[in-house]
């Protein structure tokens, strides 16, 4: 990587020197028209425009074919389908507009290239043309904006209907801690000033608050499938971002305030592992890891798909390592797991 950066810098320095030389040449007052484009120059440039147009289309098709398999699998949350539909329609519109405008730009550059004796036809204005290229984009963009606002309103409709599970995601450099609200489904009070590592009070929970006594602190997030989850998010130090890509969920964790996000998981971890796209990705990843293992490269153990919580804000030198495993399971499995976890009161009693 260092070698690549050095070569890039050297190339950029060479280009800068060459450009400075050209500027110096142009600054000299000479009766020389060698820098004026002639018919042959215009013809070559027009051919290059068409070649570059073909290149644009070719690289676009190649990218879809080569890298389309790296896209995320189907959304694993209730709102994820609407999110993906909006994204897909937006990309289709962008692709169509880009294909048409790039073709017209390059084709007209080729067709109306400069030639000696040819004069361009100039229109001072064309009301119909201006109306078309103004009204159509306005209608399309207004439709996308209204659809986006409607989708966003539905996603951010955080309420206590349907008996949601309440979980806090606590961010700090460079790890996550999840806090479940316990049997009462109410999170106890907390403040960073109450953090006491020696007493295992790593989130600053209020020991005098009875609602905090049955809260459960874990380093692995378990979610019951089909049940709504209301996430409350805090940060201890800097700005973080709770990003759960497979659930199409993301919300900033801001120091000094609590942010919220809500979604309903729809696909268990076990079922997602059977998804053809996931299976294909696991096979490709493990083939690469096996090849690295044969070369003696570490960290080449076989990989198995898991949902994951990431930090999507660059928060420091170990930002890349700030993640938490998420397991979506059936209600019975979730209840069994949660019953095995220690409450905050039990944890505090064990350290006293």
Q: Is residue 29 part of a domain?
A: no
- Mean pLDDT over 112-128 rounds to 78
Q: Is residue 303 part of a domain?
A: yes
pTM for the structure as a whole: 0.75
For residue 161, what are the contacts with CB-CB under 8 A and spacing of at least 6? 228
pLDDT tens readout for residues 239-278: 999 999 999 999 999 998 899 999 999 999 999 999 888 8
Is pLDDT at 55 greater than 80 in this prediction? Answer: yes
Which pair of tokens denotes residue 229? 């989850």
What's the confidence (pLDDT) of residue 119? 78
Q: Is residue 241 part of a domain?
A: yes
Short-list 240, 232, 234, 237, CA closest to 323 = 240
β-strands 307-311, 323-329: how paired?
A: antiparallel
Which pair of tokens denotes residue 1? 């990587």
Burial class (CB in 10 A: 0-12, 13-18, 19+), 281: middle
Q: How many domains does the chain have?
A: 1
The secondary structure of residue 77, as a DSSP letter, is: B
Q: Is residue 289 part of a domain?
A: yes
Is pLDDT at 196 greater than 80 in this prediction? Answer: no
Q: Is residue 306 part of a domain?
A: yes
Residue 240 sits in which domain range? 165-351
| SS3 state at 292 | helix
CATH (domain of 183): 2.60.40.420
Q: Is residue 282 part of a domain?
A: yes
Is pLDDT at 214 greater than 90 in this prediction? Answer: no
Strand order in the sheet with 307-311: 221-224, 323-329, 307-311, 240-244, 249-253
Which pair of tokens denotes residue 227? 């049940």
Q: Is residue 192 part of a domain?
A: yes
Q: Is residue 300 part of a domain?
A: yes
Is pLDDT at 71 greater than 60 in this prediction? Answer: yes
Query: How far, rounded to the nearest angstrom, does the alpha carbon of residue 210 sit from its chain's CA centroid?
Result: 39
Q: Kindly report the CA angle at 100 between 94 and 101, in degrees rounded to 5?
A: 85
What's the confidence (pLDDT) of residue 27? 58
């Amino acid at each position: 990587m260092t070698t690549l950066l050095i070569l890039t810098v050297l190339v950029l320095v060479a280009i800068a020197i060459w450009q400075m030389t050209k500027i110096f040449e142009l600054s000299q007052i000479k009766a020389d028209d060698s820098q004026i484009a002639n018919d042959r120059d215009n013809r070559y440039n027009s051919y290059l425009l068409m070649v570059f147009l073909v290149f644009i289309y070719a690289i676009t098709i190649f990218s879809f074919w080569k890298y389309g398999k790296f896209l995320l699998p189907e959304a694993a949350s209730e709102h994820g389908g609407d999110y993906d539909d909006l994204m897909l329609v937006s990309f289709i519109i962008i692709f169509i507009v880009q294909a048409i405008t790039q073709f017209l730009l390059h084709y007209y550059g080729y067709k109306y290239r400069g030639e000696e004796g040819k004069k361009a036809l100039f229109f001072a204005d064309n009301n119909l043309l201006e109306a078309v290229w103004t009204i159509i984009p306005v209608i399309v963009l207004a439709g996308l904006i209204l659809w986006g606002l409607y989708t966003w309103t539905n996603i951010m409709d955080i309420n206590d209907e349907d008996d949601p599970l309440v979980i806090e995601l606590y961010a700090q450099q460079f790890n996550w801690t999840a806090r479940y609200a316990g049997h009462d489904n109410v999170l106890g009070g907390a403040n960073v000033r109450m953090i006491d590592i020696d007493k295992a009070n790593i989130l600053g929970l209020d020991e005098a608050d009875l609602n905090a006594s049955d809260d459960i602190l874990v380093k692995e997030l378990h979610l019951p499938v089909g049940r709504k989850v209301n996430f409350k998010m805090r940060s201890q130090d800097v700005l973080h971002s709770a990003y759960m890509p497979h659930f199409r969920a993301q919300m900033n964790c801001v120091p000094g305030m609590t942010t919220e996000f809500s979604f309903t998981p729809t696909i268990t971890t076990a079922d997602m592992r059977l998804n053809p796209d996931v299976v294909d990705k696991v096979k490709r990843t493990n083939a690469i890891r096996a090849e690295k293992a044969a070369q003696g490269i570490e960290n080449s153990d076989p990989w198995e798909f898991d949902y994951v919580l990431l930090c999507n804000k660059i928060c420091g030198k170990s930002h890349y390592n700030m993640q938490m495993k998420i397991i979506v399971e059936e209600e019975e499995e979730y209840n069994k797991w949660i019953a095995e976890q220690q409450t905050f009161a039990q944890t505090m009693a064990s350290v006293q």
